[in-house]
Structure 1
Amino acid sequence: MPEPAARAEPTVSVVIPVRDDAEYLERCLRALDEQSSPPLEVIVVDNGSSDASAAVARRYGARVVEQHEVGIPIASATGYDAARGDIIARLDSDSRPGPEWVATVQRLFAEHPEADALTGSGLLETDDGETQPVRSRLYLGPYFTLVRWALANRPVFGSAMALRRSTWERVGDDVCRHDPDVHDDMDLSVHLGPDAVVLFDDRLTLPVSARPLQHVPSMLRRGWRGMYTLARHWPREHPLGRHARRLRARRIAARSD
């Protein structure tokens, strides 16, 4: 009996939006250079930087895409539009992926053909490398719990996520790419829909900078942006309506089975 054909692993484009964050970006790109399974490409979207971010990206062989309209949503969407891989993985400039991160993304999508997107979480880390697991759980635990309830589905975490390029092509025209006040990952989660298959795997969780939580005004602004992102899509994407749509999708799937 012939051996079964080896399952081809999907190609991965890594997208990193950046604005004036050359030091952290270099650390992230150095980590990507050490991947056991190198990505097809690394796309750094330079969002109007005045520092050496673009030069750092080119030094590491990344493809630099310029986007002068300032805002994380437009920078992220520009990178996703430019991606050529089967899978679009998203990191932030202060993400620090371990050497198996890309390989894990490939393996999980190959093992789960039903998945539209994958996500991990973040482990907050100070500038001197001290991890803060308790603070991470206190910050990101409520995020996943509350936003999952509001969306009737698991949200993706923008510093450690991936989605199929076909999924992006389905929702890319609908996301709020020109509104700099939305949380781009939460907005993407809204448009994926309550019936999308979004898987969480802790192997995708990685260290991220604790900078956003160092000052109260920054924390308050992040909270306000989260509420604004959700409310911007009401009444169409109100939590009760999304839960009803998810239940209908499950009933239809059950009848089909």
Structure 2
Amino acid sequence: MNTLSVVVPVLNDAEHLAVLLDLLARQTRVPDEIIVVDNGSTDNSAHWAEAAGARVIHQPLPGILAAAAAGYEAATGEVIIRCDADTRPPSDWVHRINEHFTRSEKLGAVTGPGRFYDMPGIIGASASFFYVAAYFLGIGGAVARVPLWGSNMAFRREIWPGVREQLDLRSLGIHDDLEFTCKLEPGTITRFDRKLLVGAAGRIFSRQGGFRDSVGVALRTLQLNGAAAGVRERWRMRLGL
């Protein structure tokens, strides 16, 4: 059986975090540890985390890339699960992740989609579908693999050192999950499970210019990793041609 660590980077996310920690406590397979990385919060995020029994570490270096990396470094589990404070996992989420890694020893990482729980009816459903399609198909095509999504992803701890040595933790204005994806070895198997569904806050749509800004950050991340100009080469390596 795998040992499982959950890593949650936070910055003034106390209200969201309290809900998430309650949902993690109700999992059918409770994680072995929960690590909350405080990236300079001025609210009571750390208080909520400690009250819920989570391990709190502080990362003074700004940016979600540095915060997430600090959590991965501190994690002791054989499988590291990453989500955001506003993630809303169903009760079997951790169990389902564990099953993936139990069934396949060659699996490096797994990820799944999200549904924007704070957007009503058809608007929320449409926005969720559009976002998932754009990210997993559009970005996936650019990086020639299933891209990991930070609100809902997990990976074997053994692949982390190879990623870590390539990261510049001072980098800002990039998507840390996409940066992680781009640093994976070509042979690392990443899997998308459409049933590994979580709720997520639709902040990129509720904030004016949010989606546009997110796309811009994604393109910058790809550009820094040479993916925008090297799609053909990435696919050649991926297919072993």
User: Displaced runs of 4+ in structure 1, greater than 4 A?
Assistant: 127-131
TM-score scaled by structure 2? 0.95
Q: Aligned in 2, Cα 1:10/1:240: closer, same or farther, shift over 3 Å?
A: same
* Amino acid in the other structure paired with 1:66: H
**Structure 1, unaligned stretches of length 5 or more?**
1-8, 252-257
State the partner residue of 1:81: 73
Contact 1:125 1:131 in 2 (8 A): no
Out of 22, 25, 32, the residue aligned to residue 24 of structure 2 is 32
Q: CA deviation at 1:212?
A: 2.0
Contact 1:156 1:189 in 2 (8 A): yes
Q: Aligned in 2, Cα 1:236/1:54: closer, same or farther, shift over 3 Å?
A: same
Q: CA deviation at 1:235?
A: 7.1
Q: Answer yes or no: is 1:226 the counterpart of 2:210.
A: no
DSSP 3-state at the match of 2:61 = coil
Provide Cα deviations, 1:64-112, integer angstroms capped at 9, x if missing partner.
0100111010000110010000000001000011111111111110001
State the partner residue of 1:207: 199
Q: Answer yes or no: is 1:114 the counterpart of 2:112.
A: no
Q: Answer yes or no: is 1:140 the counterpart of 2:147.
A: no
Provide Cα deviations, 1:171-190, integer angstroms capped at 9, x if missing partner.
11113432121100001110
Out of 174, 186, 200, the residue aligned to residue 182 of structure 1 is 174
Contact 2:143 2:227 in 1 (8 A): no
Q: Answer yes or no: is 1:168 the counterpart of 2:160.
A: yes
Q: CA deviation at 1:237?
A: 7.5
Aligned length, in residue pairs: 241
Out of 132, 146, 151, the residue aligned to residue 154 of structure 1 is 146
Contact 2:142 2:228 in 1 (8 A): no
Out of 213, 235, 240, the residue aligned to residue 243 of structure 1 is 235
State the partner residue of 1:5: none
Whole-angstrom CA distance in 2 between matches of 1:140 and 1:107: 23
Task: Indicate the RMSD between aligned Cα atoms, in angstroms.
Answer: 1.9
Provide Cα deviations, 1:203-225, integer angstroms capped at 9, x if missing partner.
32200011221123222211110
Q: CA deviation at 1:129?
A: 10
Contact 1:120 1:157 in 2 (8 A): yes
Of 122-131 and 30-39, deviating more is 122-131
DSSP 3-state at the match of 1:116 = strand
Q: CA deviation at 1:242?
A: 0.8
Q: Answer yes or no: is 1:17 the counterpart of 2:16.
A: no
Whole-angstrom CA distance in 2 between matches of 1:178 and 1:113: 33
Q: Aligned in 2, Cα 1:128/1:57: closer, same or farther, shift over 3 Å?
A: farther
**Structure 2, unaligned stretches of length 5 or more?**
none
Whole-angstrom CA distance in 2 between matches of 1:32 and 1:130: 28
Whole-angstrom CA distance in 1 between matches of 2:63 and 2:183: 18
* Amino acid in the other structure paired with 2:183: H
Q: CA deviation at 1:131?
A: 8.6
Whole-angstrom CA distance in 2 between matches of 1:109 and 1:205: 17
Of 136-145 and 158-167, deviating more is 136-145
Task: Tell me the percent identity.
Answer: 34
Of 9-18 and 239-248, deviating more is 239-248
State the partner residue of 2:94: 102
DSSP 3-state at the match of 1:13 = strand
